[in-house]
Amino acid sequence: MINFTKRYERLRKNARGARRLTARLAMALLRAGLSMPACTLFTLERLELGRLAGRGYSLRLRRPGGITHEYFITEKEVREIGELAAQVRELYGSDESLIRSLEYELRRFRESYGLDITPLDVYALKLWVYGFMDELSVKYSAQRLRMVAEHILSRAALSEAVRR
Q: Give the mean pLDDT of 7-27.
A: 88
Q: Give the mean pLDDT of 11-36.
A: 90
Q: For residue 51, what are the β-bridge partners?
A: 57
Which of 7-21, 76-90, 96-110 is predicted least confidently?
A: 7-21
- What would the pLDDT profile of 33-77 be if each residue is shown by its tens digit? 999 988 888 765 566 677 665 677 888 877 767 778 888 898 899
pLDDT at 69: 82
Q: What domain count does the chain have?
A: 1
Query: What pTM does this model have?
Result: 0.87
Range of the domain at 91: 2-163
